[in-house]
Amino acid sequence: MIKLSNLADYAVVLMSTIAARPDELHTAASLNTDTKVPLPTVSKILGKLARAKLLKSHRGIGGGFSMNADIENISIADIVEAVDGPVQLTNCLSESNSNCDYEPGCLTKSKWDKINNAVYEALNSVPLSEMVTKPYDFFPLPEEEQLNEKKG
């Protein structure tokens, strides 16, 4: 099974929550309340996202975190890489594993590279803005006056 880490999953949830209310400052405690992600995990992820410059940290009383870039320009790949490092499906794709004993005769490395790139491109093709879109935004609800006309 190929699966994102819990940290990457939680990071997307937190970024989506912040992006949905971009004019507010978000604290670890408020995000914990909003998302139910454990507070120590929220704090850890916020630090990683701020270091990756996806979030801006506002210090002091009344501080918190806000978006540091337009949500159209932040991809899911950016978020995943901020908390987990490069997208890498197998160990042989790691730069630190460049001295693999099996590499000289390995038949699969180039194929894994192709698959890894496809997964990365899929994650990179989804902007954070798509994660924030409410399901009913695709099918607009009737205007208030249309509802009133139907009632009367």
Average pLDDT estimate for 36-52: 97
* Per-residue confidence (pLDDT) for residue 91, from 0 to 100: 74
State what percent of residues in the chain have pLDDT above 90.
61
CATH 1.10.357.10 at 6-143, yes or no: no
Contact residues for 2 (Cβ-Cβ < 8 A; gap 6+)? 89, 119
Residue 81 pLDDT > 80: yes
Strands 64-67 and 55-58 turn out to be antiparallel
Domain ranges of the chain: 6-143
Strand partners, 57: 65
pLDDT single digits (tens) 65-80: 999 999 999 999 999 9
Residue type, 37: V
Residue 145 pLDDT > 80: no
pLDDT single digits (tens) 112-138: 888 999 999 999 999 999 998 765 555
State what percent of residues in the chain have pLDDT above 70.
81
